[in-house]
Amino acid sequence: MAASQAKLDKMQNRQSYRNVWETDLTRAIIADTPYCCFSLFCGPCVSYLLRKRALYNDMSRYTCCAGYMPCSGKCGESKCPELCLCTEVFCCFGNSVASTRFLLQDEFNIQTTQCDNCIIGFMFCLQQLACIFSIVACLVRNDELSDASEALNCLADMVYCTVCACMQTQHKVEMDKRDGNLGSQPMTVPHAQQMSRFDQPLPPHVAYGPPASGGYPPGSPPPPAQGYPPTAYPSHGYPTPSY
């Protein structure tokens, strides 16, 4: 019960994240077309590579489904993490992609845009609708309904593969930014349980005017800004007041 509540709290906390993905799902194929095609035709292999890269190639950090599933930490990952990851990406491909996504979101405080939520929600709804049609067609045994069910299943599979390919490309582009492959400086490997990043700029420097009469003794440096450590000002940095 406590574990379920903790996961629910974490999902709610993601709604307050401030950063956004380097590219959203609609522009992922434009951001890296070759990698998107690679993800489309070899999704499990890409999922393996991205998870390992998300862990900074340190497989000692690996936990099944990145710790977001009930089976996490109970599959003997510490003994053979590579084999466990291979099993995860081939047997639970959808969960492996989603787990890498959650891992990056929690590390970089990335929110999911409304557009991405709509695309992911449409994919899930289409899969559920295809499943319902398949059950009804199996019970009714109507040829026309069976054909419609097969067509809907094909459409759901196409949307699922396409969204997963774009999602994995989105993850790859974000890690390119993290590793400095997009022109920025690479980030250092964070310590375990301290994977967090804020892309917010520092507050601008506040310029202080001359002190009011009687406020500070002549020749003393101005007070430090609130929330920042005091700075040692050189004595020659301020002119000697003239009277």
**pLDDT above 70 as % of the chain:** 70
Rounded Cα gap, residues 167 and 32, in angstroms: 12
pTM: 0.70
Rounded Cα gap, residues 172 and 22, in angstroms: 10
For residue 88, the surrounding DSSP H or E stretch is helix 81-91
Confidence of residue 7 (pLDDT cuts 50, 70, 90): low
Distance of CA 223 to the CA centre of its chain: 40
Confidence of residue 229 (pLDDT cuts 50, 70, 90): very low
Residue 25: HSE in the Cβ half-sphere, 13 Å Cα cutoff: 24
Enter the DSSP assignment of 204.
P
Nearest to 32 by CA among 46, 53, 19: 46
Q: Check pLDDT > 60 for residue 187.
A: no
* 3-class secondary-structure state, position 19: strand
Confidence of residue 215 (pLDDT cuts 50, 70, 90): very low
Rounded Cα gap, residues 63 and 70, in angstroms: 11
Residue 89 CB contacts under 8 Å (≥ 6 apart), including other chains:
44, 45, 47, 48, 51, 96
Query: φ, ψ for residue 19 (rounded to 5)?
Result: -85, 165
pLDDT of res. 119? 93
Treating both helix axes as pointing N-terminal to C-terminal, what angle do 143-178 and 33-41 enclose, rounded to 10 degrees? 130
Tell me the per-residue pLDDT of 142-167, one tens digit each, with 9 for 90 and over.
888 888 889 999 999 999 999 999 99
Rounded mean pLDDT of the chain? 78
pLDDT of res. 1? 55
Tell me the per-residue pLDDT of 26-64, one tens digit each, with 9 for 90 and over.
999 999 999 999 999 999 999 999 999 999 999 999 998
